[in-house]
Every structure is written in structure tokens, then in C-alpha cells.
Amino acid sequence: MINHTTKRILEVIPVLLIVSVIVFSMMHLLPGDPTLLMLAGAEGGSIPQERLNELREIMGLNKPLYEQYINFITNALSGDLGTSIRLRTPVTEVLLQKIPYTLMLSLLGLIFSLILGVFIGLIAALFKDTWIDHFSMTLSLIGVSMPIYWLGLLLILFFSINLNIFPSSGATGWKSIVLPALTLGFVSAGLISRLLRSSLLEVLNEDYIRTAKGKGLTNTIILIKHALKNAMIPVITILGLQFGNMLAGAVVTETVFSRPGLGRLVVNGILWKDYPLVQGTVLFIACIYVFVNLFVDISYSWFDPRIKLK
């Protein structure tokens, strides 16, 4: 057990190193002078040479590449991700402000997708090959094939404009998070329900289910008490992955609902050509994703001891 956990943790180190190289290279792969692009994006107009030199000096862009990378990584490890050109604030500070919004949204989206996905998957398996099954699977097919931003707009049209129940934008009060979380969760709900349905149908063929039937238990009890528990294993496995999808989905969802958060920060950073902001946010999201997956992997081997033998 310890060996598996240690091995998994050690595997993360090279991945994070390569991630940091990719993120670091972003600014050096830009066509043209990054300082000119950044200042033009932030301040506009013609940029005096002194201003360019000053920024180059501050950002250490006139040092050799390897030295820049070492500085980048040591600063990042000590929590310094540089300063946003546009916001004139340390990137870490901006990130700390926005994290709660995105985490809350992702978490609620995940919970919603789990509830809806399990419900639809269960109903579909329970009424296999009936119209209920076909309807549920069509719904989940639509879920996975739908552009997430479009779903967000439809929800705004229905719940904000027509019914006036939830606000269409902003981040004040609990009501403002409902529509973004629904939008974010719907796509994953489609995936979860399809996965759960097929895994349930597989489990229902097992011997112990036949035994339960032989004991005279009702179908509902067999399904919920005996089959669901085992059928949930693949669903739990993909939850970590789904959390990453939530973080990525937040990029679009936060923009549709004009909510503050990490996703919107990346989009704005790119549009403003504020590269320290983009680099910091992307590095941060990638690290969260890597650690969440690490945690899911390790906890999964605790739940199912067969994993570590593989």
C-alpha cells in the first residue's frame, strides 16, 4: 500500500516539472517581443523604449533562458507567480481572490452531475428497453453533445428572462450560482448516467444478484442495496476526471454568466495579453487537477485493494 502511494506521488514530480516547462515556454514561444505585446495589450498606443526595458528588467527577460526558468520555478514554489500587467497586482493575490468562486462552482456542478447522473442511470437500468430507458439515454446523449455555453444561454432565457427566478449574471447570493452549476453539471451528468447504466446492467448479471432474487427480494431493493454499490465503482473512478472537466468547463461557464473565477481570469488574461496572469492561472489549475487526480488514485486503491496489485 505504502509502495503504491509513494510510487504514485513520485510520478507526479516529473509531470509537474514538464507542466512548468510548458507554461514557462508560453511567453518565449510568442511571435514577437512579449514585453511589447503585453504593454500594447495593457496600455495601448505607442510604447516608449524605456518602458519596454523597464518591464524586461522587472520580469527578468534579459537574463539567460535557463536562469529565467530557475527563477520562475523557485518563485512559483514560494508562491510568487509574478505580477499581472493589466491589474498591477501580484498574480497569487488575484488567484486567491478568485479561487473560492471557481471551487464552489466546480463542487456544486460535480454534486449536481452526480445526483442527476445517478438518477437517470438508475431509472434507465431499472426500466431497461422501455421508453423510459430510451428517453433517459436520449437525454444523456444530448447532454454530452451539447455546447456548454449554449446550454447556459438557454437556461438564462428560460429561468432568468422568462421566469425571472434566477439571476443571469454576477456572483451575489446563492441564487446566482444555481444556473452556472446546472450548466456545468449537465454535461457530466450525461456521461455519468451512461456509465452507470451500462455498469449496472453488467452487475445485474452477477451470481450474487441471482442469489438475492432467489431470496425473494424486490427488484428495487436488489438494485439500490446490492447492485448500485458495485456499479458505482467506475463512476467514482471518473469523478476525479470530472472535477477537471468542471475546472475546464468553468472557463466557458464563468464567461457566459459573467461570474468571477479562475476560468474567466484565463480568458481575460489571453484577451488582455497579460501573460504572467495567464501563466500563473494555467499553472495553478493544472496543479489542482494533478493533485485531485493523485488523491482520487490513491483513495481508490484504499477502497479497492486489488488496484495496487496491478
**Using CB under 8 A, which residues numbered 173 to 212 contact other proteins?**
198, 201
**Using CB under 8 A, which residues numbered 15 to 54 contact other proteins?**
15-16, 18-19, 22-23, 26, 29-31
Report which of 189, 187, 118 is spatially closest to residue 146, judged by C-alpha positions. Answer: 187
Among 115, 141, 224, 233, binds other proteins (CB under 8 A): 141
Q: Binding pattern to other proteins, positions 235-254, x when CB under 8 A? A: ---------xx-xxx-xx--
Nearest distance in Å: CB 250, other proteins: 10
Burial of 272 (0-12, 13-18, 19+ CB in 10 A): middle
Whether 23 contacts 282, CB under 8 Å: yes
Residue 117 or 263 with smaller CB distance to other proteins: 263
Report which of 181, 196, 95, 102 is spatially closest to residue 140, judged by C-alpha positions. Answer: 196
Residue 181 or 283 with smaller CB distance to other proteins: 283
Q: What are the cell numbers at 54? A: 523597464
Report which of 291, 285, 276 is spatially closest to residue 248, judged by C-alpha positions. Answer: 285
Q: What are the cell numbers at 147? A: 455546447
Nearest distance in Å: CB 210, other proteins: 18
Nearest distance in Å: CB 215, other proteins: 27
Residue 73 or 217 with smaller CB distance to other proteins: 73
Return the SS3 of 83: strand
Question: What is the spatial distance between Cα 10 and Cα 110, in angstroms, rounded to a whole number?
Answer: 28
Whether 179 contacts 166, CB under 8 Å: yes
Query: Which chain residues interact with other proteins by CB under 8 A?
Result: 11, 14-16, 18-19, 22-23, 26, 29-31, 141-142, 144-150, 153-154, 156-157, 161, 198, 201, 244-245, 247-249, 251-252, 255-256, 266-267, 269-271, 275, 278, 282, 285-286, 289-290
